[in-house]
Amino acid sequence: MITLINEEIQNLSDQECIARIRAHKERLGRELLILAHNYQRYDIVQLADYYSDSLDLARRGREAHEAKYIVFCGVHFMAQTSRVLAAPHQRVFLPNHLAGCPLSDFAEIDQAETAWEEVTQYTGADNVVPVAYVNSTVLIKAVCGRNGGTICTSANADKVFTHYLSQGKRILFMPDEHLGNNTAVKLGIPRDEIALYDPAKENGGLAPEAIRRARVILWKGHCHVHTNFTPALVDAMRQRYPDAVVLVHPECPEATVRAADLVGSTKFMSAYVEKAEAGKTIIIGTEVNHVRNLALMNPHLRILELSRSLCPNMFKINLRNLLYTLDNLGEVNEVFVKEDVRQDALKAVNRMFEIA
């Protein structure tokens, strides 16, 4: 349910909001768990109990047995995943249900079911497995779970791909073509064995022979935050900072990944920064709030954004809708997932845990 914030909260200063949120945290103790994704702005991160990537946060929620209320400061698919993993006594809330994800929206449930039918008619259902990036809706995860597939993160995609490819399976990967392509290329899959499926076209716009030949079938979809980063931006920053190390996310196009020094997940980026020597210059190509948070938390380093690329949906979470959710805890902004969908999605998530 989407709710409007009342005028009283709208008129509060940031400091007043923070004080009231902290009071809720003190009052509820371990019954309340606030989770913040890496792409949240710094004032939200400082109020969170945990700050990490989406799957790690969902696992934190499941492991926090005393938590009755999990408030996920992220986007909708993340809160759904948290609901899938949560225990029966736990309730999950998203401060703003309008915080969606254009990447996850590239794969709709009817399209995924059609794609599965179209691909398997040429490959056979036993020879292909559906794999969804964690940045997908719970319905897409459920499709994977029902059909013997799994999910992956940007940190473990290579392990998941290797697991199935070593068994002679083809992979139908949804919904980010760039993460899928970068992973396949990293693993040495020949170009003519990587196909791009366009859900807007019959058979994804692919000839039957192309589907049969492909070992990895990519879904036509992308994250606009990361497709903003180009090789030209990398080259320009190298000219300004010749001693810098350039890190980019694997959701970036292949040419940008090739131009960078290192590629990895947000967790990889955080770990790299933590180990860096004082005075080092690190240029990072990912969502701007993550870059700025790392810079604020590591003042002994010079951390720069490759380019300012903001996720507007992450930015929809703010102090006021977080406070409103806590003021009305249990009455507004709860996230629900149908039980049959949850069970199918949980199969996919658990398979990933077994593999990676």
Instruction: Give the pLDDT score at 252.
Output: 98
The pLDDT tens digits for 92-145 are 999 999 999 999 999 999 999 999 999 999 999 999 999 999 999 999 999 999
Examine the pLDDT at 257 and tell me if it is beyond 70: yes
90 neighbors 35 (Cβ within 8 angstroms): no
The mean per-residue pLDDT over the stretch 297-301 comes to 98
User: C-alpha distances in angstroms, 353 versus 56, 132, 171?
Assistant: 12, 14, 18
pLDDT confidence of 319, banded at 50, 70, 90?
very high
Instruction: Give the pLDDT score at 240.
Output: 98
pLDDT confidence of 322, banded at 50, 70, 90?
very high
For the whole model, what pTM was predicted?
0.96
3-state secondary structure 7-70: HHHHCCCHHHHHHHHHHHHHHHHHHEEEEEECCCCHHHHCCCCEEECHHHHHHHHHHCCCCCEE
The mean per-residue pLDDT over the stretch 25-51 comes to 97
Examine the pLDDT at 1 and tell me if it is beyond 90: no
Tokens of 247: 């890190």
* Count of beta carbons in the 10 Å neighbourhood of residue 321: 23
Tokens of 277: 């020597």
The span from the CA of 277 to the CA of 243, in Å, is: 13
The mean per-residue pLDDT over the stretch 284-305 comes to 98
The mean per-residue pLDDT over the stretch 51-66 comes to 91
Examine the pLDDT at 263 and tell me if it is beyond 90: yes
* Count of beta carbons in the 10 Å neighbourhood of residue 168: 8
The pLDDT tens digits for 133-185 are 999 999 999 999 999 999 999 999 999 999 999 999 999 999 999 999 999 99
Show Cβ contacts of residue 168 under 8 Å, excluding neighbours closer than 6 positions: 127
The pLDDT tens digits for 225-251 are 999 999 999 999 999 999 999 999 999
Show Cβ contacts of residue 6 under 8 Å, excluding neighbours closer than 6 positions: 324
The span from the CA of 282 to the CA of 139, in Å, is: 38
Among residues of the chain, what percentage have pLDDT more than 90? 96
pLDDT confidence of 318, banded at 50, 70, 90?
very high
189 neighbors 168 (Cβ within 8 angstroms): no
Instruction: Give the pLDDT score at 3.
Output: 58
Among residues of the chain, what percentage have pLDDT more than 70? 99
Instruction: Give the pLDDT score at 5.
Output: 85
pLDDT confidence of 342, banded at 50, 70, 90?
very high
The pLDDT tens digits for 200-211 are 999 999 999 999
Instruction: Give the pLDDT score at 55.
Output: 87
The mean per-residue pLDDT over the stretch 39-68 comes to 94
314 neighbors 75 (Cβ within 8 angstroms): yes
Among residues 147, 150, 154, the alpha carbon closest in space to that of 176 is found at 154
* Count of beta carbons in the 10 Å neighbourhood of residue 274: 11
Instruction: Give the pLDDT score at 281.
Output: 98
pLDDT confidence of 54, banded at 50, 70, 90?
confident
Tokens of 24: 């809720």
Examine the pLDDT at 4 and tell me if it is beyond 80: no
3-state secondary structure the chain: CCCCCCHHHHCCCHHHHHHHHHHHHHHHHHHEEEEEECCCCHHHHCCCCEEECHHHHHHHHHHCCCCCEEEEECCHHHHHHHHHHCCCCCEEECCCCCCCCHHHHCCCHHHHHHHHHHHHHHHCHHHEEEEEECCCCHHHHHHHHHCCCEEECCCCHHHHHHHHHCCCCEEEEECCHHHHHHHHHHCCCCHHHEEEECCCCHHHHCCHHHHHHCCEEEECCCCHHHHCCCHHHHHHHHHHCCCCEEEECCCCCHHHHHHCCEECCHHHHHHHHHHCCCCCEEEEECCHHHHHHHHHHCCCCEEEECCCCCCCCHHHCCHHHHHHHHHCCCCCCECCCCHHHHHHHHHHHHHHHHHC
**Full set of structural domains in the chain with CATH:** 7-100+314-337 (3.40.50.10800), 104-224 (3.40.50), 229-305 (3.40.50.10800)
* Count of beta carbons in the 10 Å neighbourhood of residue 237: 19
Examine the pLDDT at 2 and tell me if it is beyond 70: no
143 neighbors 116 (Cβ within 8 angstroms): yes
